[in-house]
Amino acid sequence: MGRRGPRRRRRARRPRRCAARVRLRPVGTGVPAHQRATPVRARHDDAGPRRGLRRVPEGDTLWRVANRLSPALVGRRVTALRLAPPALASEARRHRVEGSTIVAVEARGKHLLVRFSTGVALHTHLGMTGSWHLYRAGSRWRSPAHLARVVLEADGVVAVCFVPRVVELVPEKDEGAHPTLAALGPDVVADGFDAFAAVARLQARGPLPIGAALLDQTALSGIGNIYKSEVLFLCGTDPFAPVASLDAERLREIVDIAHEQMRRRVLAPIVPTTDGGGRAPYWVYGRARRPCRRCATLIRAARQGRPSRTTYWCPRCQPSRPSG
């Protein structure tokens, strides 16, 4: 057999461009570019140390959702509203939502209210799996259509709520008697947060551990499991201490720091809880059996409250007080 000549090197192929990548162009909807075809539920926990933790969005998340939805929806006319289950759709027709104007999008604790000019509000609670997305009309959704429970179309803008825990229409005249909304405590994220009322409501839960009391949305609304653990660490407070064992000054410190931290996240959502020095991401939340960032003591975790939630704390920075 004759000798073969040297092999010819093949030219490297250029990688194919992804045909599915579509550049979004303005279509005159008035929706800011950063809001087009993007989910508007802020993923405020993904930078944390344990991504597998499932959690209910806290009050600061709902405020950020409201802040994203409001400029895109308020003042627009509702051209279509599709709700599931079907019974809600007939209720929407009864309240003449289609053709009305969206007058406000509000966060209240962990709840979101979209208000219409006909005097009715769309109330949603996201639970652990829900999210609001905002799209241009005709854009491809990022979640399957069969998971949509609310599809709100308003002059070229489409707001979609996927798998929320609660969807209902509430006449504004009935909000004062609503079993959940009317019972909510002061909203810890609100600019006009009533700290005195929040302290008084906490004091009324004297025997309850402070970690469980902070999650009671009828005491103060908006705090969830992350801020419960983080705020109590920043205050050096044992999460299992009964509320009655804490004086009014300590309770005021707790609610003030909660308000400060959560407002900071609304105004600058990439900033996690800090002591002002910018250290991050979390002090104790999700860090069980890892060294405390202050004293190197191992962080502990235990279930607390009803329903039980995991509480994280540093036994050295948050020492327990002797009983009696």
Q: What domains can you pick out in the chain, each with its CATH number?
A: 33-183 (3.20.190.10), 195-313 (1.10.8.50)
Nearest to 123 by CA among 41, 42, 180: 180
Residue 196 tokens read as 């005195």
- How far apart, in whole angstroms, are the C-alpha atoms of residue 283 and residue 299? 9
Q: Does the annotation count 94 as an active-site position?
A: no
- Given a contact cutoff of 8 angstroms between Cβ atoms, the answer to whether 320 and 248 are in contact is no
Catalytic residue among 98, 260, 309, 315: 309
Catalytic residue among 39, 58, 76, 164: 58
pLDDT digits (tens, 9 = 90+) for 2-52: 445 555 555 544 433 332 222 222 223 334 443 344 455 433 333 333 333
Q: Does the annotation count 57 as an active-site position?
A: yes
Is 292 in a helix, a strand, or coil? Answer: coil
Peptide linkage before 307 cis (omega within 30 of 0): yes
* β partners of residue 81: 152
The pTM (predicted TM-score) of the whole model is 0.77
Question: What confidence score (pLDDT) does residue 85 get?
Answer: 86
- How far apart, in whole angstroms, are the C-alpha atoms of residue 195 and residue 261? 14
Strand ranges, E, within the chain: 38-39, 78-83, 102-108, 111-116, 120-125, 131-136, 148-154, 157-162, 166-171, 300-304, 309-313
- How far apart, in whole angstroms, are the C-alpha atoms of residue 32 and residue 246? 47
Question: What confidence score (pLDDT) does residue 266 get?
Answer: 82
Q: Does the annotation count 32 as an active-site position?
A: no
210: left (phi over 0), alpha (psi -120 to 50) or beta: alpha
193, burial (CB in 10 Å: exposed 0-12, middle 13-18, buried 19+)? buried
- DSSP 8-state class, residue 187: B
Residue 72 tokens read as 């895109």
Catalytic residue among 41, 64, 68, 110: 110
C-alpha dihedral (203, 285, 267, 168), degrees to nearest 10: -70
Residue 237 tokens read as 């407070």
Catalytic residue among 36, 39, 41, 57: 57
Q: Does the annotation count 309 as an active-site position?
A: yes
Q: What is the mean pLDDT of residues 265-282?
A: 61
pLDDT digits (tens, 9 = 90+) for 145-185: 999 999 999 999 999 999 999 999 999 999 999 999 999 99
Instruction: Report phi then psi at 21, rounded to 5.
Output: -80, 115
Q: What integer best gives the mean pLDDT of the chain?
A: 83
- How far apart, in whole angstroms, are the C-alpha atoms of residue 151 and residue 141? 11
